[in-house]
């Protein structure tokens, strides 16, 4: 038991794994047997197995903090896994400041969201299935962040993708949700293709110099940095190729521009899922991976410029789209895409620690905002349209105060969490030497202003102004407005999905009292305690994380000077805090002034009266629709070409040609089967004579066998 003994670290992963098995195998049984007490116990177990690793993580963090900066990296090997000659990738966990920081975020925010979910999902019939997936997600995410080598990281990477798919499609009977789940999965496959190619290229490059690694673990993170410097130093072109391929993977997982559009659709999942997976943890895996593999990205200024440019464009693009969204969760989804863009700007500028800083603060305030949105949705009979809200601060005081904290944090109110981390991002980008990165920094600065405005729009429309649902007609009078049609009305041949009629019937029969239609008589009510505790617990770090982690404290923790060499320095211009603070305050003031009064006339139910630009933004500038149409038409063209051209010509051709050849050969050979026994005997004789003759000839030394 030395000072660097981290043998308990694998339990950080195993505990939620046990929880997953418990929920999967016993959850339904317990609830069937014990009813409400079984539900309570399932929820309790689900929260416990996430909270316990958090305590382990805290212990590991304190132990790391007590060590010398150069010693803060310990590999804990659990079992052999891939064991080949010259290449080994055991099941191993790497304990260093980066992984432990992510463990704390994942388990800390994760346990709060699990607690919230026990309230939010309390009446769902598939309660244990939900927590089965949630715990499995925590397992996969912890494998991803704690992985000691790249193959294991990839296991976690795919695992979180699977859980994301399962949870987006959690209410799978609704066709739209199943479609959204498929979309998320397929978009991630596109990114993963790049990621896997990057891994293969990295493997090839490193395998060449693998002789210097004693036990073949050349993809393990404790050895990879030196390896990379050796292998890439000679061929900087490899660094660019690997970095860009890995970044394609990060684009998929972290919803960056060409591959972003699965994330808004992922809001089809339950709100705790949106908060945990699609805001706080999984979507930041790309930024984490960039931090983990930073020597590759550092070696390639080209890749850095590309990453910063794509990040800045995504941030701006998503922020503009957020202005046209009326679904409260969609606004938050595009805000997440936009904030992820900020993180990539930082990584592109070489300030990986600033990216991680924003990952941490964003996890707090975005999870808070999503949970707050969940509380609002819960209070408003599962209606998500901002146009139906208004004046809710009277009815939901806790939600109002906490969401305001999150709103001020994300908007960049001076000295709150979002301000502190955005400050480092903007400083690193604007102070950077490369022109592309500097332009990205200014784009990000403008986006920070937009962020304040559209978040003020969300807060203003939700909590201030008139109580607009009072003006709604009586329930059931016009279902198409209160409940947008969710799917085409064709019955599913397998009876697997609900038709719209069945879905409406199911909604109507939903047993619990607050699940009625939104109408003028609706009385919003504050969420139960299990939902408001996480809100309060997340509001505190949203306000204070800037003070705790800022001022280069996180930087020294993740990238201590002299231990992780070569981080690009930057000179943040001295005017930056003033300008960005002013931009945030201006945005907040402008946004609140516009939207506190109520719904502006040009954003009402009649989209025809909307400003054309806002209509365009509501439609994601046609990007998603065009992409989907292009992909489906293109995919169909390729499929048709394959099925009409390649398949009959080459596949069928090969098969048929083999058959015809065999038949023709048989026609020739059947003549030999004359039926005359004496002919067969003669043939045998000739054969024997030929062989004997050859043997005699060979034994005379005429030929060698």
Partner 1 sequence: MNGVPMAAYLLLGLVLFTIGVVGVVIRRSPIVIFMCIELMLNAVNLTTLAFARYLPQFVAGRERGHTAVAGEMIVIFIMAVAAAEVAVGLGIIMAIFRLRDSTDIDQMNVLRG
Q: Which stretch binds partner 1 (CB under 8 A): 41-49, 116-124, 379-387, 674-682?
A: 674-682
Q: Which stretch binds partner 1 (CB under 8 A): 75-83, 235-243, 646-654, 672-680?
A: 672-680
- Lookup result for tokens 């943890």: 281
Contact 133, 19 (CB under 8 A): no
Nearer to partner 1, 204 or 690 (CB): 690
List 509, 512, 523, 671, residue binding partner 1 (CB under 8 A):
671
Q: Which stretch binds partner 1 (CB under 8 A): 213-221, 306-314, 549-557, 666-674?
A: 666-674
Tell me how far apart the alpha carbons of residues 287 and 296 are, in angstroms, rounded to a whole number: 14
Burial of residue 176 (CB within 10 Å: 0-12, 13-18, 19+) is middle
Q: Is 682 in the site for partner 1 (CB under 8 A)?
A: yes
DSSP 385: B
Q: Is 670 in the site for partner 1 (CB under 8 A)?
A: yes
Which helix (H) or strand (E) covers residue 82, if one does?
A: strand 74-84
Q: Which stretch binds partner 1 (CB under 8 A): 97-105, 285-293, 455-463, 663-671?
A: 663-671
Q: Which stretch binds partner 1 (CB under 8 A): 138-146, 388-396, 588-596, 678-686?
A: 678-686
List 669, 703, 704, 705, residue binding partner 1 (CB under 8 A):
669
Alpha helices in 35-148 (DSSP H): 36-65, 97-120, 127-146
DSSP 584-647: HHHHHHHHHHHHTT---GGGSS-GGGS-HHHHHHHTGGGHHHHHHHHHHHHHHHHHHHIIIIII
Which helix (H) or strand (E) covers residue 92, if one does?
A: strand 87-95
Tell me how far apart the alpha carbons of residues 688 and 172 are, in angstroms, rounded to a whole number: 73
Nearer to partner 1, 481 or 674 (CB): 674
- Lookup result for tokens 């670290």: 9
Tell me how far apart the alpha carbons of residues 568 and 232 are, in angstroms, rounded to a whole number: 18
Q: Which stretch binds partner 1 (CB under 8 A): 145-153, 288-296, 411-419, 680-688?
A: 680-688
Helix/strand/coil for 384: coil
Burial of residue 495 (CB within 10 Å: 0-12, 13-18, 19+) is exposed
Sites for partner 1 among residues 120-149 (CB under 8 A)? none
Q: Which stretch binds partner 1 (CB under 8 A): 42-50, 145-153, 404-412, 669-677?
A: 669-677
Nearer to partner 1, 633 or 692 (CB): 692
Q: How far is CA 360 from CA 251, 280, 345, in A?
A: 19, 8, 16
Helix/strand/coil for 84: strand
List 36, 68, 513, 672, residue binding partner 1 (CB under 8 A):
672
Q: How far is CA 228 from CA 219, 239, 294, 299, in A?
A: 10, 9, 10, 9
Cα distance from N-terminal residue to C-terminal residue, the chain: 69
Nearest approach in angstroms of CB 699 to partner 1 is: 15
Nearest approach in angstroms of CB 675 to partner 1 is: 3
List 3, 606, 676, 701, residue binding partner 1 (CB under 8 A):
676
Q: Is 681 in the site for partner 1 (CB under 8 A)?
A: yes
Q: Is 186 in the site for partner 1 (CB under 8 A)?
A: no
83, β-bridge pairs? 88
Q: Is 36 in the site for partner 1 (CB under 8 A)?
A: no
Nearest approach in angstroms of CB 636 to partner 1 is: 50
Nearest approach in angstroms of CB 89 to partner 1 is: 54
Q: Is 705 in the site for partner 1 (CB under 8 A)?
A: no
Nearest approach in angstroms of CB 682 to partner 1 is: 5
Nearest approach in angstroms of CB 635 to partner 1 is: 51
Contact 599, 390 (CB under 8 A): yes
Contact 295, 229 (CB under 8 A): yes
Nearest approach in angstroms of CB 658 to partner 1 is: 21
Nearest approach in angstroms of CB 694 to partner 1 is: 19
Nearest approach in angstroms of CB 657 to partner 1 is: 23
List 674, 687, 690, 692, residue binding partner 1 (CB under 8 A):
674
Q: What is the dihedral of CA 38, 39, 40, 41, to 10 degrees?
A: 50
Nearer to partner 1, 562 or 676 (CB): 676
Nearer to partner 1, 68 or 667 (CB): 667
Q: Is 685 in the site for partner 1 (CB under 8 A)?
A: yes
Q: Is 695 in the site for partner 1 (CB under 8 A)?
A: no
Nearest approach in angstroms of CB 666 to partner 1 is: 9
Contact 349, 304 (CB under 8 A): yes
Q: Which stretch binds partner 1 (CB under 8 A): 130-138, 359-367, 569-577, 670-678?
A: 670-678
Q: Which stretch binds partner 1 (CB under 8 A): 138-146, 414-422, 583-591, 665-673?
A: 665-673
Tell me how far apart the alpha carbons of residues 222 and 217 are, in angstroms, rounded to a whole number: 9
Q: What angle do CA 101, 402, 376 make, to 5 degrees?
A: 110
Tell me how far apart the alpha carbons of residues 168 and 542 are, in angstroms, rounded to a whole number: 26
Nearer to partner 1, 66 or 666 (CB): 666
Nearest approach in angstroms of CB 687 to partner 1 is: 13
76, β-bridge pairs? 93
Tell me how far apart the alpha carbons of residues 437 and 430 are, in angstroms, rounded to a whole number: 7
Nearer to partner 1, 670 or 700 (CB): 670
Site string for partner 1, 145-174 (x = CB under 8 A): ------------------------------
Nearest approach in angstroms of CB 664 to partner 1 is: 14
Q: Is 665 in the site for partner 1 (CB under 8 A)?
A: no
Q: Which stretch binds partner 1 (CB under 8 A): 347-355, 359-367, 400-408, 668-676?
A: 668-676
Return the structure tokens found at 180. 């959204």
- Going by C-alpha positions, the residue among 158, 144, 160, 163 that lies closest to residue 189 is 158
Return the structure tokens found at 611. 């400003």
Binding residues for partner 1, rule CB under 8 A, total 13
Contact 169, 177 (CB under 8 A): yes
Residues that bind partner 1 (CB under 8 A): 669-678, 681-682, 685
């Amino acid at each position: 038991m030395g000072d660097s003994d981290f043998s308990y670290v694998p339990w950080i992963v195993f505990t939620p794994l046990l929880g997953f098995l418990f929920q999967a195998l016993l959850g339904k049984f317990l609830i069937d047997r014990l009813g409400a007490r079984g539900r309570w116990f399932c929820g309790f177990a689900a929260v416990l197995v996430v909270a316990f690793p958090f305590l382990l993580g805290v212990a590991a963090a304190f132990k790391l903090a007590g060590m010398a900066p150069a010693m803060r990296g310990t590999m804990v090997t659990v079992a052999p896994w891939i064991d080949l000659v010259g290449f080994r990738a055991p099941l191993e966990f790497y304990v260093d400041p980066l992984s432990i920081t992510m463990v704390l975020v994942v388990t800390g925010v994760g346990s709060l969201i699990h607690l919230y979910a026990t309230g939010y999902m309390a009446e769902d019939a598939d309660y244990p299935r939900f927590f089965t997936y949630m715990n499995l997600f925590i397992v996969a995410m912890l494998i991803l962040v704690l992985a000691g080598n790249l193959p294991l990281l990839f296991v976690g990477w795919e695992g979180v993708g699977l859980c994301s798919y399962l949870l987006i499609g959690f209410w799978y009977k609704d066709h739209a949700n199943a479609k959204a789940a498929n979309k998320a999965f397929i978009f991630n496959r596109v990114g993963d293709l790049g990621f896997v190619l990057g891994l293969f290229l990295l493997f090839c490059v490193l395998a060449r110099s693998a002789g210097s690694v004693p036990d073949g673990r050349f993809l393990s993170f404790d050895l990879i940095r030196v390896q990379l410097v050796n292998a890439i130093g000679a061929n900087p072109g490899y660094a660019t190729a690997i970095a860009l391929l890995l970044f394609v993977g990060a684009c998929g997982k972290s919803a960056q521009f060409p591959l972003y559009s699965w994330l808004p659709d992922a809001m089809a999942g339950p709100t705790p899922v949106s908060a945990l997976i699609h805001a706080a943890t999984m979507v930041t895996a790309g930024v984490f991976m960039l931090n983990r593999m930073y020597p590759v990205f550092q070696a390639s200024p080209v890749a850095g410029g590309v990453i910063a440019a794509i990040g800045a464009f995504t941030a701006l693009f998503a922020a503009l789209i957020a202005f046209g969204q009326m679904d409260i969760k969609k606004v938050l989804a595009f805000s997440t895409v936009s904030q992820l863009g900020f993180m990539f700007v930082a990584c592109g500028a070489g300030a990986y620690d600033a990216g991680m800083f924003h990952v941490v603060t964003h996890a707090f305030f975005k999870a808070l905002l999503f949970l707050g949105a969940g509380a609002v949705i819960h209070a408003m009979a599962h209606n998500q349209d901002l146009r139906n809200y208004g004046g809710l601060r009277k009815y939901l005081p806790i939600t109002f105060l906490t969401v305001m904290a999150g709103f001020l944090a994300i908007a960049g109110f001076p000295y709150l969490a979002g301000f502190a981390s955005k400050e480092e991002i903007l400083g690193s980008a604007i102070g950077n030497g490369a022109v592309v990165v500097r332009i990205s920094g200014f784009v990000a600065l403008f986006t920070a202003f937009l962020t304040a405005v559209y978040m003020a729009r969300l807060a203003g429309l939700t909590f201030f102004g008139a109580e607009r649902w009072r003006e709604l007609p009586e329930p059931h009078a016009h279902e198409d407005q209160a409940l947008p049609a969710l799917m085409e009305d064709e019955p599913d041949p397998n009876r697997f999905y609900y038709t719209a009629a069945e879905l409406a019937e199911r909604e109507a029969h939903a047993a619990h009292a607050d699940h009625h239609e939104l109408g003028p008589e609706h009385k919003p009510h504050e969420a139960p305690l299990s939902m408001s505790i996480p809100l309060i617990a997340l509001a505190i770090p949203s306000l204070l994380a800037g003070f705790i982690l800022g001022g280069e404290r996180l930087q020294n923790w993740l990238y201590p000077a002299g231990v992780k060499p070569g981080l690009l320095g930057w000179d943040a211009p001295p005017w930056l805090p003033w300008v960005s603070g002013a931009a945030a305050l201006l945005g907040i003031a402008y946004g609140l002034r516009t939207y506190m009064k109520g719904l502006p006339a040009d954003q009402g139910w009649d989209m025809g009266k909307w400003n054309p630009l806002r209509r365009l933004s509501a439609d994601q500038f046609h990007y998603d629709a065009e992409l989907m149409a292009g992909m489906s038409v293109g995919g169909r063209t390729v499929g048709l070409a394959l099925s009409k051209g390649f398949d009959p010509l080459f596949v069928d051709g090969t098969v048929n040609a083999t058959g015809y050849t065999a038949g023709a050969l048989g026609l020739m050979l059947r003549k030999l089967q004359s039926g005359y026994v004496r002919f067969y005997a003669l043939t045998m004789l000739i054969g024997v004579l030929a062989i004997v003759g050859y043997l005699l000839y060979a034994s005379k030394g005429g030929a060698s066998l």
